[in-house]
Structure 1
Amino acid sequence: MIDKQVASAAEAVADIADGASLAVGGFGLSGNPMILIEALLAQGTTDLGIVSNNCGVDDWGLGVLLNAGRIRKMTSSYVGENKEFERQFLEGDLELELTPQGTLAEKLRAGGSGIAAFYTQTGVGTQVAEGGLPRRYAPDGTIAVASPAKDVRSFGGRDYVLEEAITTDFALVHAAVGDRHGNLIFNKAARNFNPLAAMAGRVCIAQVERLVEPGELDPDRIHLPGVYVHRIVEVGPDIEKRIERRTVAAPAAGPEGA
Structure 2
Amino acid sequence: MRAEEIQARLLYRDGLVLILDKPAGLPVHGGPGGGDNLERHFEHLCFGLPKPPALAHRLDRDTSGCLALGRQHKGLSRLGKLFQEGRVQKTYWAVTMGAPPAPSGTIDAPLKKLTTRAGGWRMVVASADDKDAQKSITDYKVLGSGNGLTWLELNPRTGRTHQIRVHLAHLGCPILGEPQYLPPNSPKPKEPLHLHSRALVLPLYPKKDPIRAEAPPPPHMLAALKACGYASKG
TM score, norm. by length of structure 2: 0.29
Flag the structure with larger Rg: 1
TM score, norm. by length of structure 1: 0.27
